[in-house]
Amino acid sequence: MATDRAFLKRLENPVVGIHDQYLALKKYCPGKVEILDNDKTVQWEGTLQPTPVSREYQVVIRYTLSHPPVCVVKSPDLTALAEGEKIPHIYQNQTGIRGTHLCLFLPVIKQKNKVSEWQPTMFLADTILPWASMWLLYFEFWLASGKWDGGGVEHDENDGSER
């Protein structure tokens, strides 16, 4: 009997379940962590401050099984801070969470055969939270200089609308 390569790959890198995501966030990320939607969603809400001299940002990260995680900055209002400039690397916010929906990683882009940089085998505490903090640091640099140094792939605000 031949063993399916995809099956072996899943054994090597198992999907991190909602309860394990919850435990890692609770242990390593100060803030409020809860499980929602009949154990299908984990949500973290807390404060990120990229550097000791940075402002504090109220952030929500929500992850539902079979969907990429979303990260929304609730406050301060990033659009107001940008003073009319178009903020790079954000999505049109269709998350149901008030604030600015950040683009932290390359999503699946079916038309271009691009695979997501974030995978369900990864912990949010090791990826999305630090990525959000880095995004906010680059945002602060962008506010000061007008130049986005955070890298990334240019995209339309609607590219992440399926998230």
pLDDT in tens, 45-73: 999 999 999 999 999 999 999 899 999 99
Burial class (CB in 10 A: 0-12, 13-18, 19+), 33: buried
- Average pLDDT of span 151-156: 72
What percent of the chain has pLDDT above 70?
82
pLDDT band for 42, please (50, 70, 90 cuts): very high
- Average pLDDT of span 97-114: 81
Is a pLDDT exceeding 70 seen at residue 1? no
CA dist 63 and 81 (Å) reads: 27
pLDDT digits (tens, 9 = 90+) for 80-104: 999 999 999 999 999 999 999 999 9
The predicted pLDDT at position 83 comes to: 96
DSSP bridge pairs for 32: 45
Report the relative pairing of strands 32-36 and 41-48 from DSSP bridges.
antiparallel
**What is the value of pTM for the model shown?**
0.86
Among all chains, which residue has been given the structure tokens 């499980």? 35
- Average pLDDT of span 136-159: 85
Mark 121-155 as b/e (b = at least 16 C-beta within 10 Å): ebebbebbbebbbebbbbbbebeeeeeeebeeeeb
Is a pLDDT exceeding 90 seen at residue 135? yes
CA dist list (Å): 35 to 29, 65, 105, 125, 152: 15, 12, 23, 15, 31
pLDDT band for 152, please (50, 70, 90 cuts): confident
In contact, 21 and 128? CB cutoff 8 Å = no
